[in-house]
Structure 1
């Protein structure tokens, strides 16, 4: 019995895909949720490998997950775990993050970004670069931050942003401690700026550039490279960051076990 030329290719790709384990960075585009981004990635990989998705006793064809939500109005680095790498994703949530933010002076919206309805407009001609830099200082260090209602935080399993858009009465979450290590004004061209001042403003652009040991660079896979081979290559170049995450996770598990022993 002879096999057809190329008949083994789908099987080889399926085997290759299901053997992948680890963490790798992708670029989440603007205008799509992190969950949708992950579903798109997963669908592409399963289609390339000739596999169908199924759920049987909570066991998926391909285990894949991400290590920290980016809102639909944000873009940038999203750390993805594949196979056993999904067990390391918890460590990504505890690492530091970096963002590049562009704001627009003179305009406030109900969502705090450009997707919302304008609620206020004020002049901003009196604001100079030095004003921005002074305000930056007040937002650094250990501070209390009140999470915005339009965010990925959840109430009873549903996102606050979805509840607000549905017209539900939603109370603001209590302020929580956060650490801002550094804020820097990299460009000032009014009305564009990086933080709010004594005017009104909204976020024009938000890009995540770092999460844990991963940074937004050439290794970050954009949509045109969401395929089995590019992910396999990315996993090889990301072995060290993945190992760091794994060690951090193991240490946390050891501490938790000791506390409950």
Structure 2
């Protein structure tokens, strides 16, 4: 009898958790550590939430009856920082209001790599002793405002449906994408201890900090790559105030975070429009991204 009551209680609690999970809707931020891809972090988050709600998925049904969730912009696997997540109707808001980000990047002068960061193979080495702090600060002015930028070969951009980075790893020949317009709102030098230098970057969408650091090295008649990269802000969400670490990836913690984060968007015109258009929530299946 006691076992039956315990079993029923567990089922009620699981049903309550599931109902609460599927009622969540909006945007919140999580902390993405260095190492995993943005997609794997999102899948890990999804699995933890579904497990807490007592929902099991099998391989055949994985794309059905699944939590609707997505992220607001890929962060390199070698980078850490803010990853904004949309859940429920929040997935429709991601592309509308997350147009800007802030980064802290540590660059290394004198070495170029095939990935433009520390994970790649060194492809070139050049002297950097002649470069002064003043030289670097003057060069930064050339990369502020509306500029043209060539995306890295190792990137999430696609050719014939496949990521360029995947094609590169297979050894296939990949041509660089043409330069495209991007925006740098602010760019400042925070530290200079050759060969290392630290930048704070605030930029618009579609911008690659790895390309920026590489271009800076070339402009200084040397070369450079990114040693460390941290996204400190995405949209209105900051690393310090809003990014939930893995131990906070629970239904209740996310529900509280949604209340706080969505209040930041209340004055956004695009948010108001979406809220009006999609006032009724629904449970929709969604493929893992």
Displacement, 1:165?
1.1
Quick check: 1:104 aligned with 2:108?
yes
CA RMSD of aligned residues (A): 2.4
User: Equivalent residue for 1:208?
Assistant: 231
2:97 and 2:270 in contact (8 A); partners too: no
Give 2:77's match in structure 1, choosing from 69, 72, 79. 72
* Rounded Cα–Cα distance in structure 1 between residues aligned with 2:65 and 2:151: 34
* Rounded Cα–Cα distance in structure 2 between residues aligned with 1:21 and 1:248: 13
Quick check: 1:237 aligned with 2:242?
no
* Rounded Cα–Cα distance in structure 2 between residues aligned with 1:204 and 1:178: 22
Quick check: 1:27 aligned with 2:21?
no
Quick check: 1:88 aligned with 2:93?
yes
Q: Secondary structure of the residue that 1:185 maps to in structure 2?
A: strand
Displacement, 1:240?
2.1
* Rounded Cα–Cα distance in structure 1 between residues aligned with 2:132 and 2:170: 39
User: Equivalent residue for 1:199?
Assistant: 222
Q: Residues 175-230 of structure 1, C-alpha deviation per residue, up to 9 Å, x if partnerless?
A: 11011111000111111114433222110011112222222223210112111111
Displacement, 1:243?
3.8
Displacement, 1:56?
6.3
Quick check: 1:225 aligned with 2:229?
no
User: Equivalent residue for 1:136?
Assistant: 140
1:88 and 1:249 in contact (8 A); partners too: no
Displacement, 1:68?
0.7
Gaps of 5+ in 2: 199-212, 278-289
CA pair 82-244 structure 1, distance change in 2 beyond 3 A: farther
* Rounded Cα–Cα distance in structure 1 between residues aligned with 2:272 and 2:119: 37
Quick check: 1:4 aligned with 2:6?
yes
User: Equivalent residue for 2:130?
Assistant: 126
CA pair 56-40 structure 1, distance change in 2 beyond 3 A: closer
CA pair 145-60 structure 1, distance change in 2 beyond 3 A: farther
Q: Secondary structure of the residue that 1:198 maps to in structure 2?
A: coil
TM-score by length of 1: 0.88
* Rounded Cα–Cα distance in structure 2 between residues aligned with 1:120 and 1:247: 46
1:68 and 1:79 in contact (8 A); partners too: yes
Q: Which runs of 4+ in 1 moved over 4 A?
A: 54-59
Q: Report which stretch shifted further, 216-225 or 58-67.
A: 58-67
Displacement, 1:86?
1.1
Q: Report which stretch shifted further, 3-12 or 69-78.
A: 3-12
* Rounded Cα–Cα distance in structure 1 between residues aligned with 2:28 and 2:239: 11
User: Equivalent residue for 1:170?
Assistant: 174
Displacement, 1:61?
2.3
TM-score by length of 2: 0.80
Displacement, 1:53?
3.0
User: Equivalent residue for 1:153?
Assistant: 157
Q: Report which stretch shifted further, 149-158 or 56-65.
A: 56-65
